[in-house]
Chain A
Amino acid sequence: MKLMKFAAAAATSILLSTSIAAADDKPVVGLIMKSLANEFFQNMLAGAEAHAEKRGDYELRAVGMQNETDFESQINAVENFITQGVDAIVVAPADSKAMVRPLKRAMEAGIVVINFDVALDEGAKKQQGVDLAFVGPDNRGGAKMAGDALGSALGEGAKVVIIEGNPGADNATQRRLGFEDAVAEHKLNLLDSRTAHWETEEANQVFATMLTANPDIQGVMAANDSMAIGVVKALESAGRSDIKVVGFDAIPAVLPMIEDGRLLASVDQFGQEMAANSIDLALDVLAGGPQLEGWVKTPIELVAGE
């Protein structure tokens, strides 16, 4: 008897929930980001949540990861979203190759997939027969903007070094290439290029030593602002105010440094809006708009002092 009652109650509640969903009929968007320990993605999440509240015509389900390289949990997240039957998946892939296959399955299940922030690998896409547009900033172009700012401030032949992000990370590679483009264009003299794994303390140590080895450095290009802060501190301890530094990301902590000139420039890629914009694009496609093609570039902007 009791069991029957329970089963009946369960059945009604299932009916209820489906009817609620039917009445609401809001599209469900699954947002998959990288490490939420990263300031950039934390801001992005905040931006997406505010966006969902403001638009109010879709349901947001957001997931992040433990760390930058934990792509297995991203694959699981895609599979979970397929099972849940979401309408769209908006994803910043942690690995540009590993994510292609699970996303292909999602597309085959009729889910609208938007790839943002980091582009999926072209070769892997071709191999799997996936045709998917990319929505995101031009990391290489952004880094070149920062490098250009440094190049025009220093002039031809100036001696510069690069502080790189994590070796193997796609955005780290793109930013390094962008810096190298600027080096070539402004005919700068690149003395050394080393990783500090995106981190302030390591950048501080690595750069202080590079400065000892090359006291005639004139400019520094750091692949993110956390590392640029470490460089600026090393310059302060060495009593060198003649060396110019550029960073990337325009995090709040560097804005005072840009204002007082300790940092020449940084690059804002509007991470806060990036996820929200990608969701807008996904909803447009869901509403019957045309499929996206190629590379939908999102805005980037050089942030420099007066």
Chain B
Amino acid sequence: MSAVDITPHSPEKTSMSIRSVINNAGIGIALLLMILFFSVASEHFLSANNITNILTQITINLVLAVGMTFVILIGGIDLSVGSVMAFAAVVAGKAITLPGLGATELIILAVLAGVLAGMICGILNGVVSAYWSLPSFIITLGMLNIARGAALQISGAQTIYSFPFAFEEFGSMLIYGVPVVFLVALALVVIAWFVLNRTVFGRLIYGIGNNEEAVRLAGHPVFWYKVAAFSICGLTAGIAAIIYMARLNISSPIAGIGFELNAIAAVIIGGTSLSGGRGSVIGTLLGAFIIGVLANGLILIGLSDFVRQMITGLVIVIAVILDHYRAKYSAS
């Protein structure tokens, strides 16, 4: 291996993961307090149906946020995920409504097409921003428009509908009250956790966010690691598109407007630093729960739309302020 010690299970890593457990505990406590508050304030909050609802409702945001975690960890940002999701959904929607094929073939084709479409956008984001060392903020802002335009162009701005029944069934299937689509999201969290914590690749993702130059000097191909991070983000946008289609049984070219902001919010509330190098995908899971529980609970207790929006914004600001102190204490 190289000069920099990045092997898993190094002592430095152990102390880092203890710290990350403490960080996550803070977010977890905040989440528990919210759950406690809403379960007292609304008799429906803890009902089995509502828990199923919340799990369904956070699924797409969680999937997008898992990919976003990789990009933010390397110190980047991906503003295009909402549009890329719509683009992937339209591509998959066109595939799944092709005439003359059986349901199984159509579903396989659509899943492949959608995931591939998302990934291609991610690869482009990564290659362009890493090759010319351009701010990913601007490059992905460009992709936000390119992907949205492509989605509208391909679909002729029409909603695509009537998908095979089996596909729809997958979107609403429950196992002991837990939506299958949520289990897919949860599996992605587990995979991402493993990749980030137990592989050299994952440690280098953190390394690039902390000190890109050091990783480069150690002889690692930083370019390809960055491309990989953006590709993963595109891939999760493609998966989110498939889940969107299965749940709603349509593909809409105007789907996912503003979803990038919710995904970024979940990552940041989850304690991942916007400047990269610090954070965890478990935090992202908790962050997505906080956003989902808030959206659900505030409707249940009957708050108006506008007050609800203000409170959601407030929570994001508070999370970043807390993160500021967390960074300060862990540095000292």
On A, residues with C-beta under 8 Å from B are: 36-39, 42, 167, 192, 194-195, 199-201, 204-206, 208-210, 212-213, 215, 226, 229-230, 233, 236-238, 251-253, 256
Contact = CB atoms under 8 A, between A and B. Distances in A.
Contacts of A237: 56, 172
Q: Interface size class for chain B?
A: 35 or more
B283 interface: no
Given A38-B157, A194-B305, A209 B250 contact: no
A42 B299 CA distance: 34
Contacts of A226: 159, 252, 254
A301 B146 CA distance: 37
Contact of A42 (B44, B148, B156): B156
A200 B252 contact: yes
A38 B60 CA distance: 23
B42 A213 contact: yes
Given A194-B305, A226-B252, A253-B250, A212 B50 contact: yes
A229 B157 contact: no
Nearest to B52: A237
B306 A208 contact: no
Given A194-B305, A229-B248, A252 B158 contact: yes
Contacts of A192: 302
Interface in B242-270: 244, 247-250, 252-257
Contacts of B160: 253
26 contacts: A36-B157, A38-B254, A39-B159, A199-B257, A200-B248, A200-B252, A201-B60, A201-B247, A201-B255, A204-B247, A209-B53, A209-B296, A210-B299, A212-B47, A212-B53, A213-B42, A213-B302, A215-B44, A226-B159, A229-B250, A236-B172, A237-B172, A252-B158, A252-B159, A253-B161, A256-B162
A91 B170 CA distance: 45
Given A39-B159, A200-B252, A236-B172, A209 B299 contact: yes
A195 B309 CA distance: 11
Contact of A206 (B158, B249, B299): B299
A237 B42 CA distance: 22
Interface of B: 42, 44, 47, 49-50, 53, 56-57, 60, 148, 152, 156-162, 172, 244, 247-250, 252-257, 295-296, 299-300, 302, 305-306
A167 B299 contact: no
A212 B157 contact: no
Given A199-B257, A233-B247, A208 B305 contact: no
A98 B172 CA distance: 45
Please report whether the interface of chain A is mostly helix, strand, loop or mixed according to DSSP: helix
A39 B158 contact: yes
Contacts of B253: 37
B296 A233 contact: no
Nearest to A194: B305
A23 B156 CA distance: 36
Contacts of A195: 305
Contacts of A215: 44
Contacts of A200: 248, 250, 252, 255
B248 A204 contact: yes
Contacts of B161: 252-253, 256
Given A208-B56, A209-B300, A237-B56, A199 B254 contact: yes
A292 B306 CA distance: 40
Contact of B300 (A213, A230, A251): A213
B63 to A, nearest CB: 13
A253 B156 contact: no
A206 B60 CA distance: 15
A208 B255 contact: no
A209 to B, nearest CB: 4
A195 to B, nearest CB: 5
Contacts of A38: 157, 254
Contacts of B152: 36-37
Contacts of A252: 158-159, 161
B40 to A, nearest CB: 15
A204 B249 CA distance: 12
Contacts of A229: 159, 248-250
